[in-house]
Amino acid sequence: MIPVQGYTGARVAVLGLGRSGLTSCAALAAGGAEPLAWDESPDARSQAENQGITLHDLGRIDWSGVAALITSPGIPHLYPAPNRIIAAAMAAGVPVDNDIGLFFRSFATAETMEFDQPPKVVAITGSNGKSTTTALVHHILQQAGRPCQMAGNIGKGVLSIDPPQNGEVVVLELSSYQTELARSLTPDIAVFTNLSADHLDRHGGMGGYFAAKRRLFAEGGPDRAIIGVDETEGQFLAGQIGQNPEDMRVIRMSSGRKLTGPGWNVFARKGFLAEYRQGKQVVSVDLRAVKGLPGAHNHQNACAAYAVARSLGIAPRLIEDALHSFSGLPHRSQLVAEADGVRYINDSKATNAESAAQALQAFDHIRWIAGGLGKDGGITSLAPHLGHVTKAYLIGHSAREFALQLGDTAHEVCETMERAVARAMADAQSGDVVLLAPAAASFDQFKDFECRGQAFIDAVNARLLRESATDDK
């Protein structure tokens, strides 16, 4: 655990008692603060009490004696409207922070500064690819024999990691909800993968969403910034950080086009990753045979992770070997099974149209399972990417809405995951890919995207098992 610094003897309110809130309470107490814990859910309060946490109703406290309010990422503090408790704290002039802010203010200590190699923090944000990039960086570091930990929006909560060792690297995945509010953001290396419309109600529009991501770079001043420049926002951000086009503190990266600028560039094109410095090619890596990273979107993730690893001094050959041994993450272009020439791919994490587009471009002859709780615009933006779709099988709340947006693409409204899998498997022929890439949130039928992905896995495996039993008779 990372004990929180700067609040010894102070009363600090904690709103939201999920993973980050519970860990914040423990880390604050370890640092000598008195946490005042509360959650508006009775179930969450009961679970917290079972863990020995004393509750304080933050809707009724006197804020004059409170040093700060630490809130969980999912609780809105600005748009579309502040939570009532956060609004009361802000009106009383109480600073509002989150566990990410506590982590960055507490990570470096007098002890770590005496290490031969001070520990470093790599922070990764963006709309799509954050989790895969974070896990891939962690995997490369492990394969290179570097001490490392992974936390944030993936793995452990940031305050629950072990105190860092000499030369250790902590790799964090950070969402816009986390970067938006953290009062301290000081990574050594910061990564911006890409930007597409998401969470717009929470951030008051696209500008607010980009501003939340940008804070990781503008507030933190990382020693190295790795920026995806395939969107205008990334180009703008890279230009703001670098002093000039030759500034090697900025690594520009792209998936799909060659970068020819005079600085430090990493890009993937036609299945090959290339590193250029000062206009000269340094390295080329063939990504086509890397099974854990299929498609252009995963090649962008490979570029980001490669750039991080090179920034940390890891040799290209070690990085390439680690790319080949990376098996991917569950629910992100995950190969579930292959039978009779048909591959079954679980990309349940494709919760918006942009991420679904990446999945649709990664495979041919797709039998596409999509739907759920659709987002603004539905799947109209996917029209240019439907050429590989043989047929769509639609589920969930937005099934009929999606059907109207598919044009001439063959489709069937199936409502449930079980029926969609059954119909897709019955139709599939050798060479086809049965792909779950919902382009929608999961909350209409499932607790989260993991549960949705597991339902797909279970349905596929159950039918394959039945077919195998039938063939044995």
Binding-site residue set:
126-132
Amino acid at 63: W
The 10 Å Cβ neighbour count of residue 395 is 28
The 10 Å Cβ neighbour count of residue 471 is 7
- For 213, the token pair is 């991501």
End-to-end CA distance of the chain: 56
- Tell which residue, 225, 286, 284, 291, has the closest CA to residue 252: 225
- Tell which residue, 207, 175, 168, has the closest CA to residue 193: 175
Beta bridge partners of 189: 122, 224
Q: Where are the alpha helices (DSSP H) in 242-336?
A: 295-311, 316-325
Phi and psi angles of residue 314, each rounded to the nearest 5 degrees, phi first: -85, 140
- Tell which residue, 246, 212, 253, has the closest CA to residue 229: 253
**Binding annotation for ATP:** 126-132
Beta bridge partners of 472: none
DSSP codes joined into one string, 200-259: HHHHTSHHHHHHHHHHHHHTT--SEEEEE-SSHHHHHHHHHH-SSTT-TTEEEEEESS--
